[in-house]
Amino acid sequence: MAPRRIVTYGTPILRQRTREVTELDGELQQLIDDMVETMYAAPGVGLAANQVGSPHRLFVANPTDSHDPSKLLVVINPEVVESDGEFANEEGCLSIPEFRETVVRARRMVLRGLDREGRPLEVEGRDLLARIFQHELDHLNGLFFLDRLSPAKRDILGRKLKKAFFESAT
């Protein structure tokens, strides 16, 4: 396992919808292992495949500070079964370091997909875990948490991001 480089805001793959996983081969297993290592090293609580430059439709998540292995989730080809409630909380993103905003998300979410062995998986998340599910699903659909903000907040944050990610590169 080796941490991979997390791609940052402005990288085209982050705005593209990821592709369904059709083959769970050794290469995909290595990607999953690397993603877990990368998420922990960052440190973060979730990581979508396109955040490490892979077009695969999968994410890893672990809502615990201790990296409890029993709480690690690998969700391949996730789809929303149901969601309800809502709550607002501050959110950040490993692909947009040092930027945080309050985002309204569903309080509870149930996802269906496959685990890393290809077995059917259905998992329910509440509060933080539900927020992680939604954040990572957004990534897999080519969205950022900032796309969930009001137009005014998005405009202000967009200018700050442009300055931080594009003007500093010139």
* Cα gap 84→107, rounded to integer Å: 6
- Candidate list 20, 23, 136, 167, residue with the active-site label: 136
Q: What is the chain's mean pLDDT, rounded? A: 94
Give the per-residue pLDDT at 169: 56
12-167: CATH number:
3.90.45.10
Residues 53-82 pLDDT 10s: 999 999 999 999 889 999 999 999 999 999
- Is 136 annotated in the active site? yes
| pTM listed for this prediction | 0.93
Residues 40-53 pLDDT 10s: 999 999 999 999 99
pLDDT at position 109 over 60: yes
How many Cα neighbours within 13 Å face the side chain of 55?
A: 7
Cis (ω within 30 of 0) for the bond into 120? no
pLDDT at position 128 over 60: yes
CB atoms near residue 63 (< 10 Å): 17
Confidence of residue 157 (pLDDT cuts 50, 70, 90): confident
Residues forming beta bridges with residue 110, ordered by sequence position? 82, 124
Q: How does 36-62 read in b/e, with b if 16+ C-beta sit within 10 Å?
A: bbbbbeeebbbbbbbbbebebbbbbbb
* Cα gap 75→80, rounded to integer Å: 12
